[in-house]
């Protein structure tokens, strides 16, 4: 430890003797690292497994039942109708299943009826949603069944926003001027990326504010705010007729998720879908080619064509920019070491071993890494702000956890070592007589 502190002190003296070349090297290196970190942060959050303990068992199911002849249409629509959801439910094969769509509304508390209502994001779904995606409850619980009921589950932030506390089970809210009872409050929870609903490229958005029963939403004519398609629907636009019309026509807005615990269950459910299509074709209701899909949650972005190509392009550009910065920083580092070569030559002449010289260089690397890490985080934060201004949908991804910070620190240490590797080898292993002549 004493030797390390001594070497760090010598490194600091070397920086103070020629601060400008060192500062330029540090600036170039930290700028490259910061740009790389800002893009790597978004890329990490968008490509991680958000629920590794059960991701292998979660699937989005679809069938190609859209009406109308189309001999070359093998891909099912991204969203399905209420009729198809009912036929695909209750197979007895899945351990959990839930249909869902996203919507929005305006809410306020009963106590503040005169206040201006606030816009809220809704997740219209069924009771198994919380089991499928391991959604934790802070207070209360989900609905006991999938029947229509004027009851909602709200997020922790929503409870704090409207009630200034979290234990609000039993309290009432007005949502679009309809009275609902709060039966559950979720604990802090967010799935990033939000793979249970990637429609509209919204997988980077935070979790919803309020969770509403599916049947209630149909009764009250809530509709999807991401994708809502009508096929061969004869409707006069009268919202009073919407509940019956949406349940008995091809009003496509639902996604349907199932939990299949093991490969055997997957095969059984695939066979169940095949049998369903056979029955539908026999009844004359399935005119298109069979195109059943059972997409795992980790493949759903690609299946729904919802991958963010812009982030991939930014990541590639950031990697190339980092490479350029490393090459330039290494060149500046070589010049700095060559300028201080007389110190290394003198130490070698006095009997210092190459290992002792390498120890001094490693102290330089540690000090450079600490300074570069701090500066890189600053540039990375600036980069995240810039990207979020260009791509507002990525705002929820602009954060770091301790694991990411640890990986970043190790990466900075590695890059700093690579920057000084060639100068260190040239300084430590050049012939001593040649160095003394210079």
DSSP of 96-164:
EEEEEEEEEEEEEESTTTTSPPEEEEEEEE-TTHHHHTTPPEEEE---SSSS--SEEEE-HHHHHHHHS
Asked whether residue 277 falls in the same domain as residue 354, the answer is: no
**Is the pLDDT confidence value at 343 over 80?**
no
| For range 206-224, the mean pLDDT | 94
Judge whether 381 lies within some domain.
yes
Residues 340, 257 share a domain: no
Task: Give the pLDDT band (50/70/90) at residue 169.
Answer: very high
* Whether residues 225 and 341 fall in one domain: no
Distances from the Cα of 431 to the Cα of 170, 242, 343, 422, 434, angstroms: 82, 88, 15, 15, 5
Residue 375 inside a domain? The answer is yes
Tokens representing 73 are: 């249409």
Quick one: pLDDT band at residue 436, thresholds 50, 70, 90? very low
Q: What is the pLDDT of residues 81-128, one digit of tens each?
A: 999 999 999 999 999 999 999 999 999 998 887 888 999 999 999 999
Q: Does residue 420 lie within any of the structural domains? A: yes
pLDDT value at 135 more than 60? yes
Distances from the Cα of 213 to the Cα of 86, 118, 142, angstroms: 15, 20, 10
- Among residues 237, 263, 291, which one ends one of the domains? 291
Q: Is residue 125 part of a domain?
A: yes
At which of 236, 263, 291 does a domain end? 291
Bond preceding residue 193 cis, omega within 30 of 0: yes
Task: Looking at the structure, tell me whether residues 197 and 107 fall in a common domain.
Answer: yes
Q: Are residues 76 and 152 in the same domain?
A: yes
Q: Which of 85-99, 242-256, 302-316 has the lowest mean pLDDT?
A: 302-316
Would residue 424 count as lying in a domain? yes
The count of domains in the chain is 2
Is the confidence at residue 256, as pLDDT, over 90? yes
- Residue 392 and residue 253 in one domain: no
* Residue 296, domain member (yes or no): no
Please indicate, yes or no, whether residues 104 and 238 belong to a single structural domain of this protein.
yes
Interatomic CA distance for residues 270 and 273, integer angstroms: 5
Burial class (CB in 10 A: 0-12, 13-18, 19+), 11: buried
Q: Give CA separation, 110 vs 5, 117, 119, 160, 374, in Å.
A: 65, 11, 16, 15, 49
In a domain, residue 385? The reply is yes
Residue whose structure tokens are 């130490």: 347
pLDDT higher than 90, residue 166: yes
Residue appearing with tokens 């705010």:
225
Q: Let me know whether 119 and 247 are in one domain.
A: yes
Q: Are 145 and 270 in contact (CB under 8 A)?
A: no
Helix (H, G, I), strand (E, B) or coil at 173: strand
* pLDDT tens-digit readout, 2-15: 555 655 565 656 66
72 and 45, same structural domain? no
* pLDDT given at position 181: 97
Query: Are residues 375 and 253 located together in one domain of the fold?
Result: no
- Given 240, 260, 291, which residue is the final one in a domain? 291
Residues 6+ apart with CB under 8 A from 73: 64, 66, 288, 289, 291
Q: Which of 432, 342, 350 is nearest to 17 (CA)?
A: 342
First to last CA, the chain: 33
**Mean pLDDT over each residue of the chain, to the nearest integer:** 83
Structural domain span for residue 215: 64-291
Same domain as 270, residue 126: yes
For residue 227, being part of any structural domain is answered with: yes
User: Do both 394 and 271 map to the same domain?
Assistant: no
According to DSSP H, which parts of 181-238 are helical? 214-219
């Amino acid at each position: 430890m004493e030797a390390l502190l001594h070497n760090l002190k010598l490194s600091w003296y070397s920086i103070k003797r020629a601060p400008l070349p060192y500062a330029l090297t540090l600036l170039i290196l930290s700028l490259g690292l910061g740009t790389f970190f800002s893009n790597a942060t978004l890329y990490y959050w968008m490509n991680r497994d958000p629920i590794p303990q059960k991701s292998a068992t979660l699937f989005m199911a679809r069938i190609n039942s859209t009406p109308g002849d189309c001999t070359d249409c093998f891909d099912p629509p991204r969203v399905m109708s209420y009729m198809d959801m009912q036929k695909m439910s209750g197979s007895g094969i899945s351990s959990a299943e839930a249909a869902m769509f996203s919507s929005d509304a305006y809410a306020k508390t009963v106590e503040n009826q005169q206040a201006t209502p606030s816009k809220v994001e809704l997740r219209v779904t069924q009771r198994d949603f919380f089991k499928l995606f391991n959604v934790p409850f802070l207070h209360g619980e989900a609905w006991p069944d999938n029947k229509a009921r004027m009851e909602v589950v709200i997020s922790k932030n929503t409870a704090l926003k409207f009630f200034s506390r979290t234990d609000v089970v039993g309290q009432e809210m007005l949502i679009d001027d309809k009275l609902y009872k709060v039966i559950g409050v979720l604990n802090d929870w967010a799935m990033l990326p939000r793979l249970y609903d990637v429609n509209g490229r919204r997988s980077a958005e935070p979790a919803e504010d309020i969770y509403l029963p599916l049947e209630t939403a149909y009764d009250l004519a809530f509709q999807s705010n991401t994708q809502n398609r009508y096929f061969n629907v004869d409707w006069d636009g009268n919202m009073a007729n919407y509940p019956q019309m949406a349940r008995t026509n091809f009003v496509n807005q639902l996604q349907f998720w199932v939990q299949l615990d093991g490969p055997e269950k997957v095969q059984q459910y695939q066979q169940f879908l095949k049998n369903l299509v056979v029955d539908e074709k026999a009844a004359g209701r399935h005119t298109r080619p069979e195109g059943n899909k059972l997409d795992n949650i980790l493949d759903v972005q690609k299946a729904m064509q919802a991958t963010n190509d812009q982030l991939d392009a930014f990541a590639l550009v950031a990697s190339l920019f980092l490479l350029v910065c490393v090459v330039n920083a290494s060149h500046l580092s070589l010049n700095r070491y060559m300028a201080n070569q007389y110190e290394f030559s003198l130490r070698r002449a006095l009997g210092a071993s190459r290992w002792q010289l390498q120890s001094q260089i490693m102290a330089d690397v540690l000090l450079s890494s600490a300074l570069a890490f701090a500066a890189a985080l600053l540039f990375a934060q600036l980069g995240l702000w810039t990207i979020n201004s260009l791509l507002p949908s990525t705002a929820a991804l602009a954060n770091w956890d301790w694991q990411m910070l640890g990986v970043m620190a190790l990466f900075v240490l590695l890059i700093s070592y690579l920057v000084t590797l060639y100068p260190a080898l040239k300084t430590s292993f050049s012939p001593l007589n040649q160095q003394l002549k210079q």
